[in-house]
Amino acid sequence: MLRKARLSDVDAIFRLIAKYAKMGLLLPVTISYICENIRDFSVWESEEGVVGCAALRIFTKELAEIRSVAVDERFRGKGIGRGLVEFCLGEAEEMELKEVFVLTKTPEFFLRCGFEPVDKRNLPHKVWKDCMGCPKFPECDEVALIKKFD
């Protein structure tokens, strides 16, 4: 079941993201961060509990980011990640956003979800707030992609 996250999901979301953060695929987040931003998160829940998460972070009236897409490795390849991304894109359309971007080390996945490559330098400076604490900044190895709505 795909749904908006609840505070009772915080620990599961933290564990999912932490696993990918240890692999260097996602930025680490704290439990406090997840609590403060719980309204941004959506989850995929199975009989085994929360097995996937993603967040839609709004930057302006026209621009948002999909971030923290993580799926339990036992459930990968079952369409959960794509479902979470499409759920976030649906929210973005409902809010009448014009563009949604991602910064990722797995661009192939987002290309299959309809995103197109974009030069990171074309994104507003405010999106780089989280990057300042990254040990790879300013030599970022993530790829920027964007999805535009009509």
User: In this predicted model, what pLDDT tens digit does every residue of 15-55 receive, in sequence order?
Assistant: 999 999 999 899 899 999 999 999 999 999 999 999 999 99
SS3 state at 82: helix
Question: How many domains would you assign to the chain?
Answer: 1
Q: Which pLDDT score, from 0 to 100, does residue 133 have? A: 59
Per the document, the length of the chain is 150
The range of the structural domain enclosing residue 14 comes to 2-148
Please report where in the chains the tokens 């990171």 appear, as a residue.
120
Q: What's the pLDDT tens digit per position in 62-113?
A: 999 999 999 999 999 999 999 999 999 999 999 999 999 999 989 999 999 9
Name the H helices within 9-106: 10-22, 31-36, 80-94
CATH number of the domain encompassing residue 37? 3.40.630.30
Q: Which pLDDT score, from 0 to 100, does residue 135 have? A: 60
Residue 107 preceded by cis peptide, ω within 30: no
Would you say residue 126 has pLDDT above 60? no
Identify the CA nearest to 28 among candidates 136, 111, 145.
136
